[in-house]
Amino acid sequence: MFRHLTLLCGLALAGLVGRAAAHHAVATHYDFETIIELTGTVSEITYRNPHSFFVLDVISDGQTEQWEIETHSVPLLRRLGIDEDRLGVGDTLTVRGPSPRRAGATALFGGQLIFPDGTEFMLTESLRSRLIDGIAAERMERSSDAPILERMAGRWSSITGAFGATGGSPMPLNETGLAARAAYDPIDTPAQQCIPPNLPSLLYQPYLYEIRTEPDGVVLYHEYANISRPLAFGADAVATTPPEFGERRARIEGDALVVASRGIPAHGAGLASDWDANGRGANIPSSAQKEIIERYTLRENDQILVADYTVTDPVYLEAPYSARVEWQRVRDDAPIYEFECDLDSATRSRATLEQAGAAE
């Protein structure tokens, strides 16, 4: 059975599972304790967001078996060096990754791609550091006398780990919060409905984050889902678009940018997503009483952007929760890619495994 598969054990591939195990409940679909290897020919490829897929035709005992390989979104693949010119139909490829949990399913998560010329692409291990390769900004001397918003302006890439954490959530969940987390259903999540994450999960995404100082104001822009959060400064000023991020009031406190948000609609993963450092394998919802304060500062000669945030939600949390997220500065011309969530892409791996189950 599965004679064309090679079981890979031991520490050599321990990093392959890396920190992507919980991304969009990937661990629900794939067994990250069992890594398999396939070699075949790419017969179909679909570059989409939030996940891309390609089909690998594998020959075993004279028969061709088609395996569906799931991997990252278009922006992440491009930053890792994978695009239409590097991977296309007709290419011979070796793929290593976690096997499907559903018996009989011919699908796996592509953690490592190996081309015939020996070129290898690791798509999980040390993901965040490799996403910065080639786009990191050169260190420069900046005047500390410049306005703080001017110093913060630019593009940033996350260096805070988020994927693959296990165990209970570090958030101080009350009984309602614990029950809500325990009721998590990995095949019915906001992400699989193309509903973007909210704060604080959005801050952990491994996509570019840009602070834009524009003629008509300051905007916090997230490459993931193309989310823009305009800021309003002044005692009576408030920004209300997009409405899913509530009402925002911003102020400058010395060398810090402070953004306070409230009136945020309830969200099925509003406190934590199943893939991030707070959710740790399960979504945690939020209520309309959630409030969050983000406090942005700079360190290391303005090369590192720091966000210390505090989130409160009396419906699910027994006390306020505080944590820190950091980004490294990248070049101002580092490409920002369009990110439109494709519903079929968001649900495809679940559908593939469900079809395998129905055929049993």
**Using alpha carbons only, what angle is made at residue 47 by residues 284 and 281, rounded to the nearest 5 degrees?**
20
**pLDDT at site 139:** 75
pLDDT exceeding 70 applies to what percent of the chain?
87
Distance CA 92, CA 270 (A): 42
DSSP track, 101-160: SSTT--EEE--EEE-TTS-EEESSTTHHHHHHTTTBPPP----TTS-HHHHH-EEEEE-S
pLDDT tens digits for range 269-281: 999 999 999 999 8
Q: Which of 134, 166, 159 is nearest to 22 (CA)?
A: 166
**pLDDT at site 329:** 98
Query: Helix (H) and strand (E) counts for the chain?
Result: 7, 19
Reported as a pLDDT band with limits 50, 70 and 90, residue 17 is very low
pLDDT exceeding 90 applies to what percent of the chain?
74
pLDDT tens digits for range 133-143: 999 998 766 66
**pLDDT at site 304:** 97
User: Which has the minimum average pLDDT: 23-27, 113-117, 177-181?
Assistant: 23-27
Section 153-158 average pLDDT: 97
First to last CA, the chain: 15
The answer to whether 90 and 69 are in contact (CB under 8 A) is no
Section 52-56 average pLDDT: 97
pLDDT tens digits for range 33-48: 899 999 999 999 999 9
Residue 3 has pLDDT above 60, yes or no: no
Q: Which domains does the chain have, with CATH numbers?
A: 6-133+342-359 (2.40.50.140), 148-330 (2.40.128.20)
The answer to whether 314 and 330 are in contact (CB under 8 A) is no
**pLDDT at site 186:** 86
Residue 5 has pLDDT above 80, yes or no: no
**pLDDT at site 51:** 94
Distance CA 125, CA 11 (A): 13
User: Is this prediction's pTM over 0.85?
Assistant: yes
Section 219-242 average pLDDT: 96
DSSP track, 47-112: --SS-EEEEEEEEETTEEEEEEEEE--HHHHHHHT-STTTS-TT-EEEEEEEEESSTT--EEE--E
Residue 29 has pLDDT above 50, yes or no: yes
**pLDDT at site 60:** 84
Section 223-252 average pLDDT: 97
Instruction: Name the residue with higher pLDDT: 359 or 306.
Output: 306
Which amino acid appears at position 261 of this protein?
S
